[in-house]
Amino acid sequence: MDWSRAKSVLIFSFLLLNILLGYQLWLDIREQVNVNVNSAELPQDKVLLMQQKGISLSANLPLETPELRDITYLLHSDSRKNAQPIMLETAVDGRIVFTQSELVKTLGSIIPELNQYVYDQLVSDDGVFVLHRITEGRPMFDVKLELHHSFQKITGYQQDRIEILSRGDAKQVLPAAKVVASLIETYLPNGAVITDIQLGYHGQIFDSEKQVSAPSWRVMLEDGQIYYVHAISGEVTTDEEQVETVGLR
């Protein structure tokens, strides 16, 4: 047996093992640091509860608490909810959705008010790019433009078109940390992973052209579940149903 060769192999193996163990330790430390950074604004008891329930917070907690207003708007009768997709005469490259300027340049003359909609990758699905109407720099989660695509080509669209009628009195919104803390305590299942927290507008859709959208925090989980928390009252809803009011005030 070539002991010199065997010794070199063993040394190399141990070195490789140490590198792998060190890398794994670095990943664990980095993950723990990220968790600590993301949850720094949460009360300590909620952080402990997160650990007990195996809940992870991979999204940054927004620190903003601006004053926002309810929005009353008119949903046009030819909106997406009352119409079939409008097919494009010529399909266009789907990659343009990732660049707002290119999207507007290519489809702005075809789709009305396209420059007022912004792409939301988190809620887009196979075959559909989803964009939200923007007002005062924030997304209206219920007002959508859906770009249908196939084989990397945009082939048609369905659009919610609205007219803003009025705005309510400005009120300061609840902090995201307080919203997330209550969700952790009351609503989120064991093992949930929070992947996105965003402030925008959301409201119950009525069978009427006139709708009301309120300042709301949208909290998304890794499995696709979405919670909307009224940013003033703390009421929690999902896309399926109203849940209940959280005692945040």
Q: Indicate the class that CATH gives domain 75-167.
A: alpha beta
**In the chain, where the domains are located:** 1-38, 41-68+168-245, 75-167
**pLDDT number for residue 242:** 44
**pLDDT number for residue 126:** 87
Q: What is the pTM of this model?
A: 0.80
Helix, coil or strand: residue 240 = coil
Helix, coil or strand: residue 155 = strand
pLDDT for 86-132, tens place per residue? Answer: 999 999 999 999 999 999 999 999 999 999 999 999 999 889 999 99
Separation CA 218–CA 197 (nearest Å): 6
Domain 41-68+168-245 coded CATH 2.40.128: yes
Separation CA 24–CA 32 (nearest Å): 12
Contact 234, 97 (CB under 8 A): no
In the chain, the percentage of residues whose pLDDT exceeds 70 is 77
Domains 41-68+168-245 and 75-167 share a fold: no
126 secondary structure, DSSP code: T
Sign of CA dihedral 240, 245, 247, 249: positive
